[in-house]
Each structure stands twice: as C-alpha cells, then as structure tokens.
Amino acid sequence: MSDLLVKFDRGFSLQQALAILEEDDDLVMDEAGEIKITIFPPENACGNVTDEDSGAGDSAILDNLPGSQLPAPAEVNLRGSVDDNDQGRSDSEGALRGRPPQQKTQTGTRKKKKNYNWKLNKDLEADESMWPVKEGPSNNPTPIEIFSQFFHEDVLDMIVKFTNQYAAKHNKLGDVSNNEMKAFLGILLLSGYAPMPRRKMYWQSQKDTNNQLVCEAMSRDRFTFSMSNFHVCNNDELDANDRFAKLRPLFKMMNERFQSFAPHEENHSVDETMVPYFGRHGCKQGKPIRWGFKFWTGATPKGYVVWSEPYQGKSSVKHDFGLGGSVILAYTEVLKNMDMQPYHIFVDNFFTSIPLLEELKRRRFRATGTLRDNRLVDCPVKRKQELNKQERGTISYAADTEKNIVVVSWNDNNVVTVGSKASTVLPLRQVSRYSQKLKKRIEVPQPHLISAYNQSMGGVNRSDQNVSLYRISIRGKKWYFPLAMYIVDVAENNAWNVHRQNSGRLDHLEFRRQIVAALLPANKKSGQGRHRMSQAELENPMRFDCLEHWVVQQAKQTRCAHCHAKSTTRCDKGFHVKCFIAYHKRT
C-alpha cells in the first residue's frame, strides 16, 4: 500500500464501511494505531423519526444502533486524511475506495500556476510586530459563575423552550423549568467523573450505588422525561439542506459565547476533533476502530475552544484552496469578528498549502504549518527520501523573499517540512534526542519555526484530552444527543481554562465537582432532607447567585452568619435582618 494517506470516499454507508473493514485484513491503521470512521447524520436527519430512542440499553453497539444510523453515509480514515486537492493518487488507491481506475480528462479551465523565486539557504527577516497585551478581569469568579457565562440564562431559556415545545407536541405533560434543566445538566456533568453502568443506578436505594445529591436534586422519572424530550430546535423550522439543523441553534449560540469570553491570545491552532458516537468498536482483532462525528475546531495553545463546526462532507464546501483551506479561511472570519489583530494560526499538513499561506497573509493573518511534498510548488528544499539518508538534525531551507515565504525540511525521527510567512528558520536551538547508534542522548539542532510550531500547535489535542478525561457518560440513542453533550463538556473545559487564566488553583476534576455541587441544589425542593456539605464546597457558588435567599422566621434560633436569629431558605444561614444584604452583596 502506498505511503500516501488513504481514505474511502464518501460513497459508503456506515454498515457497508464496517463490512469492508471486517473482510479486509490488509488495511493500514493511522498514527494512533486505530482506524477512524467519520459518520454523518442520517439521511432523514430532519425527520421526527430520528427523535426517538432505539432500544432500551444505556450503550450502543452495532447490533443495537438506531435503524436510521446504519445506512447513513460514512468516511473511513486509515492513515489520516486526504484532501481533495492532493495529486498523485494511484489506481490501487482508487480501487480501495470501491471505484474503478479513472481516466484523466482535460477540463475546460485550468488554474494559473504561480511562479516563486526560491533561494536556497535564504531566511526571512524576523517579524518585529508586537502582540497587544490586554488585562484580564481583576475579580476571582467562582466555578459556577464562569460556567454560567457559557451556559447563560439565554441558552437555558432556549433549551427549555424547545424541550417543552417538543413534549407538548407529543402530548407529554409536565413542563421542564430552568432549575430542572440546571439539575439535569449537573447530573450529566457528574456522570463524567462518577459513571454508572446504568443511569437508573444513581436513584437506586442500594448503598453501593445510591447518590443522595442526585436523588435530592431530581427524581429518576423527571430526569428520564427531560432526556427523552431534550431539544434545542423547532422541528417545524428546520433547514432541509443542513444535516445538523437539529443542533444548529445550540452550536450557533455556544460558539458566540465561546468567542465572547475567549482569552486574548496571539497563537491559535486548527485541527479536527472526533466526537465518539458510542466509544470504540473493536470489530477487527488488534485493530481498534473509533467511530464518531468529525468537528473542525479552533483553539488556543492551552486548550480553550474558540470555534467548533461539524463536518458535513467534502461536498458541503467548495473552495479554490480545497477542503482543508476552506476550513482555515472560515476560522479567520471568526477571529476577525472577535478582534482584528495579527493572529498567528498553526495548522498541520492536511490544511497547509503555499497558496493558502499567501491568502492568509493577504487577509493580515500570520500562519505556520507542516507541508506535504506534493504541495511544495517547485521549492528546492531536499525531499523526504533524500533527507532520510542524512544524519539526524540535517536542515534544508529556502525562501521567496518577495512573497515572504520560507520552507524548511528537518530530519528528526522522521522528516518534517514546515512552511511559514511569520516565523524564521534562524536562530537554531539545541534539543535533546536519544541516539540508538551511540546509545546515549545527543544534542540536535532544531529550526526556530519548528520549535514555535511544536509549542503552539497542540491546543485542539489538549482540549480533546481535557474533554475525554471526564466526558459525560450518560448516553441516549438519538443521533444528535452525543453532540449536544460534547458542547456541554467543551463549555466546562472552557470555563476551567478561564479559571486557570484568572490564576485559579483548582484542578480540572475539583472545578467540575464544584459546578455540579452548585447546579444540583438549584432544583432542590424545600423540606427535603439536606446533606450537609462543607462551607468551601457550597458557600461560594451560591452566596451571590441572588436566587431564593428569603428571610424567614426560624423555630430554633441560629447564629447570624454575618456578625444571630434569622435564616434564608436557600443557603440556610442565620442573619440579623440588617446583616442579610451585606452578606449577600459583593463589596
């Protein structure tokens, strides 16, 4: 099989793709040692039938998938992805995609080839532009306050409105309230770090599984009602051309919230994210298969997700720069709407081409990305086959100073080629590597722009890692439910990023737990037994939320929390009337 990245074209259904993988023993896995299947919404994604659950289990396997999902289109990625503007695909690869070899035909129009004046061992001048520094917020908001910036009341109102609308349309009585929706989200977030094999076990009376906080916040039947009717759109106003129309209002609103509170950072990266439909399916022994929906994601180096857009297939976007290039240009529009600054975008070789680097410069964006050999546009740097024969650390670079582009190839464990219109090759830095030949660590020269790429490219991978640590484990079988839960997880990840940016000291798990501890009591009925929690866990998240802190007469006198005979029903503290406002108001 060729070393070219191989991909099944979108002409298979999920069921057909899995059958092909089952029968073929010679398929090559990707760099992570697995085969990825990108699935798409069902052909009837906008139909009411896709709102129904299929099967009674809490997890999905191939024998228990929604009937509409198996015939849905799918793409199989074996060794990464191939862009639609790659050249040099072999006939054998075409046969692997299930098509006969295609004869080359002459088209009526031809793209004009650009000329470049490459000079070997020539570097760019260092970019002296300064990134403007902006001060962040001076206060130290609590975890629930930060999370509520993303899941704002407007977002909750939208979800509650469409959930109740869907329930009423199907004659299901009992509207969901905003507080119930908060408790519903809290239970979902809790399931990420305290999962159960079956969701009903949270409400069982057995001591080994019962969760008192969950039981007090919401009954099992109300949770099931909220989950079965969960909706974020009006089914009567769906765009038939948008397969993700049932999630579009949520995607749009949450992306706006993500961008409104994004850190002011110079460097951003764009990459793909795989959202698992139901985890892994090991249908081939020794070759794990991961299947799910693909998102294009833009993030900061520390993993704050600025933008996330579901992939609808290559046919959904047409652009002179190919599929990968069109994704990057879409992200530049997002950044431009945030703040017109000289952002620096880092991308991998699926997206990068030299014409794209030029276009980004024209749009006043700086860019650095790895390049494939077939996209080097006659650049005279040494190719992979030649550099592989050289000693480790060998560098070959060239620049077109008129167009302000530099390309460098560097031999490390493997040959990597990077192009940039912002970073320079020099100065070189020394990196430590282990030499198998010498049986010791040695110093290897590394170009400056490759060092910059390594520092700034991993933001999407970091966000994926953060989300995967405590991913919501409660799953329904509606095709869109895992995608809605992914957005909830991303919002929590972004909130934690903001907390850390504000010098917060909570780790990710403790931060998530404090959000859950604040969300679940939102729906707690008065008169229920109260589980006594520490002041550090509950006081800060609820003290300033302005919800139901009523002054009531107590049968038993308690000590005033602020300076000694009255209490509020929500935070259960004793107050003098004169002390009540002072305690609940920030100074």
| Three-state SS sequence of 97-111 | CCCCCCCCCCCCCCC
Task: Indicate the pLDDT class of residue 550, thresholds 50, 70 and 90.
Answer: low
Share of the chain above pLDDT 70, in %: 71
pLDDT score of 56 more than 70 = no
CA atoms within 13 A on the CB side of 580: 19
Q: Provide mean pLDDT across the span 226-232.
A: 94
Residue 155 shares a structural domain with residue 222: yes
pLDDT at 76: 75
Q: What is the pTM of this model?
A: 0.80
The answer for residues whose C-beta is within 8 angstroms of residue 509's C-beta and 6 or more apart is 193, 469, 470
pLDDT score of 274 more than 70 = yes
Pairing of strands 267-284, 119-120: unpaired
pLDDT at 586: 64
> Could you give the 3-state DSSP secondary structure of residue 507?
coil
pLDDT at 580: 72
**Better pLDDT: 416 or 72:** 416
The burial class, CB within 10 Å (0-12 / 13-18 / 19+), for 505 is exposed
Residue 298 forms part of a structural domain: no
Residue 562 forms part of a structural domain: yes
Q: Provide mean pLDDT across the span 300-304.
A: 97
What does DSSP assign to residue 49?
G
**Better pLDDT: 315 or 412:** 412
Residue 42 forms part of a structural domain: no
Burial track 93-124 (b if 16+ CB lie within 10 A, e otherwise): beebeeeeeeeeeeeeeeeeeeebebeeeebb
Q: What is the pLDDT of residues 110-137, one digit of tens each?
A: 456 678 899 999 999 887 777 877 776 6
Q: 555: domain range?
A: 548-584
Q: Which of 224-228, 261-265, 319-323, 578-582 has the weakest average pLDDT?
A: 578-582
**Better pLDDT: 364 or 66:** 364
Residue 168 forms part of a structural domain: yes
Please name the residue ranges forming H helices in 40-197: 91-96, 143-150, 153-169, 178-193
Q: Which of 216-220, 326-330, 529-533 has the weakest average pLDDT?
A: 529-533
Q: Which two tokens stand for residue 151?
A: 């899941």
Q: Provide mean pLDDT across the span 441-469.
A: 95
Share of the chain above pLDDT 90, in %: 51
Q: Provide mean pLDDT across the span 402-425.
A: 93
Q: Which of 285-294, 530-539, 570-579 has the weakest average pLDDT?
A: 530-539
**Better pLDDT: 76 or 300:** 300
Residue 229 forms part of a structural domain: yes
Residue 236 shares a structural domain with residue 190: yes
Residue 339 forms part of a structural domain: no
pLDDT at 555: 62
Residue 174 forms part of a structural domain: yes
Q: Which amino acid is at 288?
A: P
pLDDT at 581: 72
Task: Indicate the pLDDT class of residue 481, thresholds 50, 70 and 90.
Answer: very high
Q: Calculate the average pLDDT of the chain.
A: 80
Q: Provide mean pLDDT across the span 48-74.
A: 57
Residue 91 forms part of a structural domain: no
Query: How many angstroms separate the CA atoms of 327 and 321, rounded?
Result: 9
pLDDT at 485: 96
pLDDT at 20: 67
pLDDT score of 535 more than 70 = no
The answer for residues whose C-beta is within 8 angstroms of residue 406's C-beta and 6 or more apart is 122, 123, 124, 397, 398, 399, 419, 420, 421, 423, 424, 425, 449
Number of domains in the chain: 2
Task: Indicate the pLDDT class of residue 514, thresholds 50, 70 and 90.
Answer: very high
Residue 186 shares a structural domain with residue 236: yes
